[in-house]
């Protein structure tokens, strides 16, 4: 029986299956770090370029509003109240008779400042506290985590409303501070988790056994390997801080009406919402586009920095 | 694309017995951002009913992809680009999703590789087996439950009825693999594909499982397609062998014949690197020139394998460099409430290592061998006992003294994917211990990195590489270079070659032997693989449940094992006594 179905001993032609040197390093390829890899994957995505260009434009508008409009946003004439668009005033006028285009452009600065500043603060506090708690553990972790939980239990906007209403004259900086007081636990939690898993990795144990000091391991190995998810969340939260500022200003506890911001303009527009909705439309659209741009960027960053997604490429 | 249909192809075989499975010129590619990457390139394979066929090859050779293509389980980006997979004359590549579903499980069973992740942790075992039975339409309702118990009993779980309600975490690895085999065979398929079914298991468990699988498939007349990296297993369990390399079949035919007399250079290489009980300790070949040419240039490892133990015995007995005296490690495991349980991971272990020798610590998972390594490395503190290094008690060293000890005793860990920081390039990784101990100037450090890269046969240009760009073997060589940076006396190698393919493993073992002769290193070699021990160790300590059950010279342990446990371990090595043609 075996003879009938026995299979011949087949040997492939050597030319067809050349045997390569064992485990030789391919020197022709370019070296690739995680970040180079992430950049490589991001730049292939049109969404990355769209969101980056949007963010760039928003940044330029925030820094140099006068490049985009010569009209003074504070010179308002009641005769133009709720006026429709006309030459030189493409977005029309609001109830006070101020130029909506000019106000939207000039409002960018306050909104973006709050967003950037709050994100920077939250990331700084969150990364420091999260990594110390996750890395050193013990009572420090327990203590910090409970404090974080307390703040976590207070909705950011609600907490900010309470705090803002007792603070004197609000500025973009003070709004950013107040928001970050209530928003850092989210970043700290994420950082703590990422640090925990990085701390338990073999390369940390290897470094310990090599005699590298504990704090040096935290700085050189743990944090660089744990920071990626925080970057993603920080990018996304930048948009939410801008929304939060708008919410506070809309409710009248944020920036004072003397400071131009999208939130203030949206708040003022509600009085004439039915008669002239275009007054609301423009600052709201500016807000949405800004938030969307950061959300998009965050999404792309997530894809680029996610090791699982990277492995598939 | 050929439009030859199944009837026609079947006709070609009139007269001869029709093969159960015939793969013809199969090509499988993966769609990536950089285009279609071929993974399987023109594979031919024939399997008759009742036969067992093994596909062997290193990782990335396309063996698993071939198996996945048969039952259309290729991962997302993969697809069959050409060729035929004829199963009982039907071309499986042309079946619709619904038709292939009827083939899966019912006609072709599948046993996946990793028993730890292939059972769903949120469902109990009974549910998962019953699900398979119902899905294959074997039985419904009460009958399905009875069938579940029967299937599990046949798979070797005698108390199946009582354990249906238990969850996967309550089963050991071997028992989970039995469950998966039970699921795979539940519909009495004609073909069972077993993808590395036992590579995650200890050798003794592996042997039981394979014996049982052999009995079952013989009883049912099932054909088995094994995917394995273990030539010994293939020699012992499979009649037919297919050797794959870079997506192509380089040699196929009767397994014993191929392994005894390999023809293709790749197969020859593979066979010569396969460690077996018949191997001898690797002797340094440092008289020859460096590089790949040395390592495999002589044609086979055996040319350089000479027993060295005899020379050693003649030499004057030196004082032990490391002396471990009656050490224990007790872990406290939290139970319900405030109660704790004691787990004695290491229980009164004593041994000594002489300078310049290799001592292997062998045992199955949970035997406490890795814990011993961590205790010696001072990564964990011992509960009782003493560890002396070069005459000095090292337990409880602190600050400067500990740093000094770390300079002299360096580790190399198991997982070459985990032990290197993915954000660090090779140059920085190797220089890290130098930096941490404040050795030399930046220039001197660089010179040392260059020297170390040479020692592990990696080009100077590799210093800019990141771990993700390197193969497992290359990473492990980097880990060795890093460990050698401070010119230590001792390397603790914790399963340092276990994750590597056999060829690369041979290469790294050669490298380690070379370095030992060159630098007078002392090794503590921790492994579960007795065949590897034979290649590198002068002395062996066999561990079981935290204790050393047998300690002797390597030759003594292999030629004349005293303890039943050691004998069992040796007997369980697949194809242990097969004489590979070298």
Q: Which domains does chain A have, with CATH numbers?
A: 109-312 (1.10.3720.10)
pLDDT exceeding 70 applies to what percent of chain B? 89
Subunit contact A210:B436, Cβ cutoff 8 A: yes
Residue range A276-286: mean pLDDT, rounded = 85
How close, in Å, is residue B457 to chain A by CA atoms?
A: 9
- Judged against a pLDDT cut of 50, whether residue B2 lies above it is answered with no
CA distance B406 to A206: 11
Q: What is the pLDDT of residues B520-566, one digit of tens each?
A: 999 999 998 888 888 889 999 999 988 999 999 988 888 889 999 99
pLDDT of residue B493: 92
pLDDT of residue B335: 67
- Judged against a pLDDT cut of 50, whether residue B14 lies above it is answered with no
CA distance B428 to B485: 12
Asked if A23 has any chain B CB less than 8 Å from its own CB, the reply is yes
Subunit contact B419:A202, Cβ cutoff 8 A: yes
Subunit contact A210:B406, Cβ cutoff 8 A: yes
- Judged against a pLDDT cut of 70, whether residue A253 lies above it is answered with yes
Asked if B469 has any chain A CB less than 8 Å from its own CB, the reply is yes
CA distance A300 to A298: 5
Radius of gyration of chain B (CA): 26
CA distance A298 to A292: 10
What's the CATH superfamily of B292-321+356-383+394-572?
A: P-loop containing nucleotide triphosphate hydrolases (3.40.50.300)
Q: Which of A93-102, A132-141, B180-189, B211-220 has the lowest mean pLDDT?
A: A93-102
pLDDT of residue A238: 86
Of the candidates A29, A211, A313, the beta carbon closest to that of B32 is on A313
B52-56 and B223-228 as β-strands: parallel, antiparallel, unpaired?
Answer: parallel
How close, in Å, is residue B197 to chain A by CA atoms?
A: 24
Q: What is the pLDDT of residues A174-230, one digit of tens each?
A: 889 998 988 889 899 999 999 999 998 888 988 888 888 889 999 989 998 888 889
- Judged against a pLDDT cut of 80, whether residue B313 lies above it is answered with no
Subunit contact B403:A211, Cβ cutoff 8 A: yes
Helix (H) or strand (E) holding A109: helix A100-136
3-state secondary structure of A15: coil
Asked if B411 has any chain A CB less than 8 Å from its own CB, the reply is yes
Q: What is the dihedral of CA B238, B240, B242, B243, to 10 degrees?
A: 60
Q: How many helices (H) and strands (E) does chain B have?
A: 22, 20
Say which residue the tokens 């349980």 belong to. Answer: B341
Asked if A25 has any chain B CB less than 8 Å from its own CB, the reply is yes
Of the candidates B240, B237, B227, the residue with the CA atom closest to the CA atom of residue B73: B227
Subunit contact A205:B413, Cβ cutoff 8 A: yes
How close, in Å, is residue B314 to chain A by CA atoms?
A: 35
Residue range B325-335: mean pLDDT, rounded = 84
Instruction: Write the CA distances from B166 to B153, B177, B557, integer angstroms.
Output: 15, 15, 40
- Judged against a pLDDT cut of 80, whether residue B213 lies above it is answered with yes
- Judged against a pLDDT cut of 70, whether residue B291 lies above it is answered with no
CB < 8 Å from A in window 195-224 of B: none
pLDDT of residue B301: 43
How far from each other are the two terminal CA atoms of chain A, in whole angstroms? 48
Subunit contact B504:A17, Cβ cutoff 8 A: no
How close, in Å, is residue A9 to chain B by CA atoms?
A: 4
pLDDT of residue B550: 92
The domain segmentation of chain B, as residue ranges, is: 292-321+356-383+394-572
How close, in Å, is residue B161 to chain A by CA atoms?
A: 39
Q: What is the pLDDT of residues B102-125, one digit of tens each?
A: 888 889 999 888 777 888 888 999
pLDDT of residue B216: 85
CB pairs under 8 A between A and B: 155
Work out the mean pLDDT of chain A and round it to a whole number: 84
Of the candidates A189, A173, A179, the residue with the CA atom closest to the CA atom of residue A126: A189
Q: What is the pLDDT of residues B147-171, one digit of tens each?
A: 899 888 888 887 888 888 888 888 8
Q: How many beta carbons lie within 10 A of that of residue B249, not counting itself?
A: 27
More confident residue, A183 or B575: A183
Work out the mean pLDDT of chain B and round it to a whole number: 83
- Judged against a pLDDT cut of 80, whether residue A33 lies above it is answered with no
pLDDT of residue A133: 93
**What is the pTM (predicted TM-score) of this model?**
0.78
- Which long-range contacts (C-beta less than 8 Å, at least 24 apart) are formed by B553-560? B553/B309, B553/B313, B554/B281, B554/B309, B554/B360, B555/B307, B555/B309, B558/B277, B558/B530, B558/B534
Subunit contact A221:B46, Cβ cutoff 8 A: no
pLDDT of residue A132: 93
Residue range A97-103: mean pLDDT, rounded = 84
pLDDT band at A6 (very low <50, low <70, confident <90, very high): low
pLDDT of residue B15: 52
pLDDT of residue A280: 85
- Among A206, A221, A305, A311, the strongest candidate for a mutation testing the B interface, having the largest count of B CBs within 10 A, is A206
Q: Which residue does chain B place closest to A12, by CA atoms?
A: B250
Is residue B107 a contact partner of residue B191, using CB atoms and an 8 Å limit? yes
B340-354 and B35-47 as β-strands: parallel, antiparallel, unpaired?
Answer: unpaired
pLDDT of residue B582: 60
């Amino acid at each position: 029986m075996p003879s009938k179905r026995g299979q011949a001993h087949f040997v492939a032609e050597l030319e067809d299956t050349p045997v390569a040197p064992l485990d030789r390093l391919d020197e022709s390829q370019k070296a690739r770090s995680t970040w180079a890899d992430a950049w490589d994957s991001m730049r292939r995505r049109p969404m990355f370029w769209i969101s980056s260009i949007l963010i760039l434009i928003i940044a330029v508008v925030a820094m140099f509003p006068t490049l985009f409009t010569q009209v003074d946003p504070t010179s308002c004439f009641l005769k133009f109240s709720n006026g429709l668009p006309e030459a030189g005033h493409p977005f029309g006028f609001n109830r006070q008779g101020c130029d909506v285009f000019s106000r939207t452009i000039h409002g960018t600065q306050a909104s973006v400042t709050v967003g950037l500043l709050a994100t920077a603060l939250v990331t700084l506090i969150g990364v420091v506290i999260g990594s110390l708690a996750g890395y050193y553990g013990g009572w420090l972790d327990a203590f910090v985590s409970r404090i974080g939980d307390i703040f976590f239990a207070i909705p950011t906007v609600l907490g900010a409303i309470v705090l803002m209403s007792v603070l004197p004259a609000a500025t973009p900086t003070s709004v950013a501070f107040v928001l970050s007081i209530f928003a850092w636990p989210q970043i700290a939690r994420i950082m703590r988790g990422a640090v925990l898993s990085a701390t338990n990795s073999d390369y940390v144990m290897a470094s310990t056994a090599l005699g590298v000091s504990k704090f040096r391991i935290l700085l050189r190995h743990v944090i660089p390997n744990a920071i990626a998810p925080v970057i993603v969340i920080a990018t996304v939260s930048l948009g939410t801080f801008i929304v939060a500022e708008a919410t506070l200003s809309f409710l009248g506890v944020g920036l004072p009406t003397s400071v131009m911001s999208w939130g203030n303009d949206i708040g003022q527009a509600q009085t004439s919402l039915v008669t002239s909705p275009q007054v609301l439309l423009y600052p709201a659209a500016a807000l949405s586009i800004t938030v969307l741009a950061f959300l998009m960027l965050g999404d792309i960053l997530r894809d680029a920095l996610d090791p699982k997604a990277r492995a598939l490429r | 694309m050929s439009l030859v249909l199944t009837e026609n192809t079947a006709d070609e075989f009139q007269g001869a017995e029709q093969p159960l499975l015939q793969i013809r010129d199969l090509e499988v590619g993966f769609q990536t951002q950089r285009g279609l990457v071929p993974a399987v390139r023109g594979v031919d394979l024939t399997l008759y009913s009742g036969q067992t066929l093994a596909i062997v090859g290193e990782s990335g050779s396309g063996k698993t992809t071939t198996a996945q293509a048969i039952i259309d389980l290729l991962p997302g980006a993969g697809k069959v680009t050409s060729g035929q997979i004829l199963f009982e004359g039907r071309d499986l590549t042309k079946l619709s999703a619904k038709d292939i579903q009827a083939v899966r499980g019912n006609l072709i069973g599948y046993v996946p590789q990793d028993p730890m992740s292939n059972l769903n942790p949120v469902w109990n075992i009974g549910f998962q087996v019953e699900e398979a039975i119902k899905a294959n339409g074997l039985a419904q309702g009460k009958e399905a439950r009875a069938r579940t118990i029967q299937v599990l009993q046949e798979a070797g779980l005698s108390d199946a009825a009582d354990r249906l309600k238990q969850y996967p975490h309550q089963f050991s690895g071997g028992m989970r693999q039995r469950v998966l085999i039970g699921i795979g065979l539940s519909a009495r398929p004609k073909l069972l594909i077993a993808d590395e079914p036992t590579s995650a298991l200890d050798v003794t468990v592996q042997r039981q499982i394979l014996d049982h699988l052999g009995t079952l498939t013989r009883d049912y007349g099932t054909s088995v397609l094994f995917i394995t990296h273990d030539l010994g297993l293939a020699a012992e369990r499979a009649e037919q062998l297919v050797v794959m390399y870079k997506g192509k079949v380089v040699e196929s035919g009767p397994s014993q014949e191929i392994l005894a007399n390999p023809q293709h250079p790749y197969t020859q290489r593979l066979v010569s690197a396969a460690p077996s009980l018949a191997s001898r300790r690797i002797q340094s070949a440092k008289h020859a020139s460096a590089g790949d040419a040395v390592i495999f240039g002589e044609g086979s490892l055996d040319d350089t394998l000479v027993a060295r133990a005899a020379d050693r015995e003649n030499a004057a007995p030196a004082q032990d460099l490391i002396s471990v005296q009656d050490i224990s490690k007790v872990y406290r495991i939290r139970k319900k409430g405030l109660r704790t349980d004691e787990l004695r991971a290491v229980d009164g272990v004593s041994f000594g290592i002489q300078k310049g020798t290799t001592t292997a610590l062998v045992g199955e998972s949970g035997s406490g061998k890795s814990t011993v390594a961590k205790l010696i490395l001072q990564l964990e503190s011992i509960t009782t006992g003493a560890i002396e290094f070069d005459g000095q008690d090292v337990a409880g060293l602190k600050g400067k003294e500990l740093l000094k000890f770390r300079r002299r005793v360096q580790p190399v860990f198991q997982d070459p994917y985990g032990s290197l920081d993915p954000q660090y390039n090779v140059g920085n990784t190797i220089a890290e211990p130098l930096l941490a101990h404040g050795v030399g100037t930046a220039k001197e450090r660089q010179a040392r990195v260059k020297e170390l890269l040479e020692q592990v046969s990696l080009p100077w240009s590799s210093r800019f590489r990141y771990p993700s760009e390197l193969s497992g073997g290359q990473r492990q060589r980097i880990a060795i270079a890093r460990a050698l940076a401070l010119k230590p006396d001792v390397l603790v190698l914790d399963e340092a070659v276990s994750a590597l393919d056999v060829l690369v493993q041979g290469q790294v073992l050669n490298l380690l032997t070379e370095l030992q002769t060159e630098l007078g290193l002392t090794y503590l070699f921790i492994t579960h693989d007795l065949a590897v021990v034979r290649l590198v160790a002068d002395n062996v300590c066999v561990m079981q449940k935290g204790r050393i059950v047998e300690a002797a010279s390597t030759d003594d342990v292999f030629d004349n094992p005293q303890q039943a446990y050691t004998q069992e371990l040796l007997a369980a090595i697949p194809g242990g006594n097969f004489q590979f043609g070298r």
